[in-house]
Chains A and B, each alone.
Chain A
Amino acid sequence: MGADAARGIEQVFRAEHGRLVAGLIRRFGDIDLAEESLGDALVAALQTWPEQGRPPNPGAWLATTAANRAIDRLRRESTRDARHSEAFAMTVNRPDPLLEAGALTEQDGAVTDDRLRLIFTCCHPALAPDARIALTLRLLGGLTAAEIARAFLVPEPTMAQRLTRAKRKIRTAGIPFRVPRAADLPGRIDGVLAVLYLIFNEGYLATVSGAPVEQDPGRDASARDDSGRDESPRDESPRDGSLRDDLCAEAIRLTRVLRTLLPDEPEVTGLLALMLLIRARRPARLRDGVLVPLDEQDRRRWDRAGIGEGHDLVRACLHRNRPGPYQIQAAINAVHTDAATPADTDWAQIVALYDQLRAVHPSPVVELNRAVAVAELDGPAVGLALVEPLALAGYPAWHVTRADLLRRLDQRDEAAAAYDRAIALTGNPAERAFLRRRRAGIDGGAGVGT
């Protein structure tokens, strides 16, 4: 069989994976069984489709085949603890509040609900954050443990164990396969969005040190571009590099799926817009392995389609008038991407949006990013006065911001010291290279060696 044919089948499989595994979990009440029988179905597809042609409805073919394989496995494995599976199946088959409320028809509900149930299960607060990310990518994204391991720069056995433990916890603690009840829904949706944003950030910021990316909404909306592709020697292979961007694409894809499943939740739309707008600027963020700040980017390299869609989504959110942190951050990014040149940037509107953001999501990082915008309006001295008192000594962007403001105020020694501190704290080589260049541009002050 040709490589193209195999790849084509695997693409279909990946695209359908979430829907298929969710349906199998609902039917059989066992994640491992669902995964294994789906794997069997893929093998069968690779064997029969090239000869017999692709079936008219590949998803249905895979679903039926996988279900048959699952039944076969259950019959063969007579030692499987039937009571235990049954107990989980009981959890699964409880009446679903959404179905009962008629929000989804029985017909659509059977397909739509399952992915929604699965996404809430994978992102359950009782699971560790690492586990939620791994499980979401594995079950909904259809990535293999090896692919997830490579994307997060951990050894494959570590990632495999993380997945095994997560599934075991779901079983033993009795994490149910259901959509949360209405009272819990807002908090649980926030949890899902946080997981998706973590996945996106992992693919986008690609920290070398492996330290978790700070999950603060204010950070990524800053006027300063934080970083681009990870250029460290480990990631020089194009496969790893493209896999990191694949994570961004996967995060966006899953957020789109979530949006079709929860069309009335504006924060889901807000997150999608935010991701699209950030990613649209990616082509302009690096030049020769050095980070290019927002005000120096070649805006012709921005992805216009991504920006167009992001702007449309932001407008849709404004109409809903149920603002939230992701929507506000998306709006901030939209103000930037709306400007033809840096000088056209509507900084007053950005400050106003940060005022909104700090009201719903106060944090020192939001204050920091707001100060950057204020500096553009009222000058670096005013901005610096807002930045200094923030308790962010361990946060590289704080030092970078201080350094930049001090440089603009011609306080060279202090600026040099701040750049040195920022360089010491920054793991990303592209960003480091940028900071060194800025540092070298300052006269006076003995610097850390380039």
Chain B
Amino acid sequence: MTPDIEKIEHLLNAKTFEELSSSERQLVLAHLSGKAEYDHMRETLLRVKKVFNTEAQAMAVDTVLKEQVLNRFEQNKQQSVSVFGQIAVFFQTLIPTPMGRFSAALAVLLVVVTIGYFSLPNTKPEMAQNTPATKIKQHEAVAEGDSGESLSIETVESKEEEATLGNSHDAPSGKGATFAPVTTEIFKAEEEVASYRADEKTKEANVLKQMPVMAEKNMESDQNRMNDKPRTYTNSDGYEQYNITNNRSASLPQKESSDVMKDYSAKNKKTTERKENHPAPAEGALSGKADDNKSTQKIDNVNVAAANVQQETVSKTEATKTYKIPAWSGYENANDANYLTGEKIKYFLLQELNIITLEKLKGHQVKFLLTFNENGNITLGKVLHFSKGKLPDAYKAEIESKMLKLPPFKFSSNGGQKTLEQTYSITF
């Protein structure tokens, strides 16, 4: 009968013979001759452990040997570990727990989103003009004096109003300067949205169209005012007197309509220049209109960029796609470093296959079976098919033979009896 060494050891370590219970003595005496032998064995075990511990502690670390071994490790380290891989390894070492890595990734994502939010153009005040309810500042008044000096007067958002003679008193004196009335106009919200959604040319065209109309209106109103009889009142002496506050034309030289047009043309030119220097965003893409070349180009750029992002996302998704390990394996966490990914398989094959085979495989999609068995091993099943016609058997055989050398991505098994076959595919 095989003695229960673990039980006897426990007793030898814990109790003297006298301290044993009757059942324990019975167990011991079934295999030992008596108290003396029990005591000898107990003494031996206790002293042996003491000796072993003392010896192990006295073992000095061989630094020379360590250096040699580490140098060999560095030499044999796979060259394929990229800079980003090393960074990933560093962080995986730093944060070995999957929950920790997830939390760190989440924190980084939040920081990136926050930075992106505040750096996006939508957060700038100018972009608020695109909203329907926004009023727009417009126009510049250009004052042009007789000497040809141009004076710009700061525009003020205001209701449409006629310039009064009173304002003329605010004009610079001494130079005979005259100025065209400052006209502001408030676009209605709907008109603003419509104009911004139009293409650049249409917008410019609209503005240009409006300017002469406005000029005409203003001109008309100017003319009307000029032609109007001056308002008079009877002063206290009974004489008629001009109310110069209401008749600006009384002391102002008449302006030719052509000069007024010139004013508005100059104004329009400045407006155009301003628009060119600060173009509106590619709203043409939103409206769907692409009459303008600039809008078209911008639309194309946006579409190409979107396509690139989508393509990149897809390729990244494929590269980092993980294949589910069976639940009974015990490795259910997708963040586990041992997860088999398409990228790992592909990279491995790229290293293993020769150049000729690689050239022939371009564009092909390879599907193959991997089997997960109860022992937690992954084995290559078979190469199923290639997407673009049939390759020579030699290439197929080479892939299969290389994949047999796939580094083991093992996982623990909870003793499940199932065998799962899962199809993987990679595209060269």
Q: Do A and B come together as binding partners?
A: no
- Which residues of B are interface residues toward A (Cβ below 8 A)? none
- Which residues of A are interface residues toward B (Cβ below 8 A)? none
